[in-house]
Amino acid sequence: MKFTKMQGIGNDYVYVNCFEETIADPSAVARFVSDRHFGIGSDGLILVKPSDVADCEMDMYNLDGSQGAMCGNGIRCVAKFAYDHGIVHKKNITVNTKSGIKYLDLDIKDGKVSSVKVNMGSPILTAKMIPVVSDKEQVINQPLDVNGTIWNITAVSMGNPHAVTYMEDVNSLDIEKVGPMFENHINFPDRINTEFVKVIDRRTLQMRVWERGSGETLACGTGACAVAVASTLNGLVDEDVPITVKLLGGDLQILWNRQENLVYMTGPATTVFEGEIDLSSI
Ligand SMILES: N[C@H](CCC[C@H](N)C(=O)O)C(=O)O
């Protein structure tokens, strides 16, 4: 299988051109290629596929083989991949995903895609749509007992589910212990991506993320969007201005246009290397 290793501020995936290849069992391939010792090493697998409704389709799998409905860092790299592989020849492209068609603008410098602006769509706040179990219509700054510790969470879906919580010092968080407790909490029927956030100022947030199906990653694009939305709803950041979200792997600019009710994410997309891997051992 030919592949391209790419990363969006350190959130790295193995990309496959499915205009040219067919992957019979993507979940098994995701688990194999993601292994940093026996495979390539990545946060998961992303297939770039033909589409009848968009320029291409993103089919995304986490490290554990579970399929994700949306991937913010991944879709920026899909846009770069599509341009660099001649699948598209324009700056404004569409990518179909399991959470609908997304619209992207490529910033091209010296013939190369340097950064991408993504219309991530509207945030979903209705508890049962996220889904999160609650007696409330929306979960905004609500207490949640996580193995005996009470965390105040705000639940947001960007096509995939997120729980956002705030703390004074995210650097000292034992995320390997706490992350799985959130991910597998009974109140999240489809599991959950969890963002731990420190407010730097009214236009700057710092976050770490424990991703559903991948564990701690250096960045999460949908998570950064969920964090900007949750922080706005909680009155912690200014409205209708770009918010800088600082992640372990780098920064993203997030704007929630309240009038449109659309979230825009802008950030880099980087190719690391190309290669070929033998899948016969799977
Ligand atoms: N783990 C996520 C998918 C990847 C999201 C993240 N890598 C991003 O950049 O948005 C899920 O299962 O919903």
The mean per-residue pLDDT over the stretch 269-275 comes to 97
Spatial contact of 101 and 117, defined as CB atoms under 8 Å apart: no
Lowest mean pLDDT among 108-112, 125-129, 152-156, 261-265: 108-112
**Distant-in-sequence, close-in-space partners of 20: CB < 8 Å, separation ≥ 6:** 2
Measured from the Cα of 217, ligand 1's closest atom is 7
Give the whole-angstrom CA distance, residue 164 versus residue 143. 12
The CATH number of domain 127-260 is 3.10.20.30: no
- Is residue 62 classed exposed, middle or buried when 0-12, 13-18 and 19+ CB atoms within 10 A define those classes? buried
Which value does ipTM take for this structure? 0.97
- Omega cis (within 30) before 131: yes
Superfamily of domain 2-114+268-276: Diaminopimelate Epimerase; Chain A, domain 1 (3.10.310.10)
20-27: long-range contacts, CB 8 A cutoff, minimum separation 24: 23/47, 25/282, 26/59, 26/61, 26/65, 26/67, 27/61, 27/65, 27/66, 27/67
Measured from the Cα of 75, ligand 1's closest atom is 9
Is 203 one of the annotated binding-site residues? Answer: no
Is 17 one of the annotated binding-site residues? Answer: no
Give the whole-angstrom CA distance, residue 137 versus residue 127. 6
Q: Count CA within 13 A, CB hemisphere, residue 21.
A: 17
Hey, what are 90's tokens?
């324009």
Domain ranges of the chain: 2-114+268-276, 127-260
**pLDDT averaged over every residue in the chain:** 97
Measured from the Cα of 8, ligand 1's closest atom is 9
Lowest mean pLDDT among 74-88, 107-121, 130-144, 177-191: 107-121
Give the whole-angstrom CA distance, residue 106 versus residue 91. 5
Say if 2-114+268-276 and 127-260 have the same CATH topology. Answer: yes
pLDDT of residue 109: 87
Binned at pLDDT 50, 70 and 90, residue 111 comes out as confident
Give the whole-angstrom CA distance, residue 257 versus residue 37. 43
Q: How far is the CA of 177 from the centre of ligand 1 (A)?
A: 20
Q: What is the value of pTM for the model shown?
A: 0.97
Give the whole-angstrom CA distance, residue 240 versus residue 223. 18
Q: How far is the CA of 192 from the centre of ligand 1 (A)?
A: 10
pLDDT of residue 112: 86
Is residue 232 pLDDT above 90, yes or no?
A: yes
Q: How far is the CA of 71 from the centre of ligand 1 (A)?
A: 5
For ligand 1, atom 12: residue with the closest CA: 68
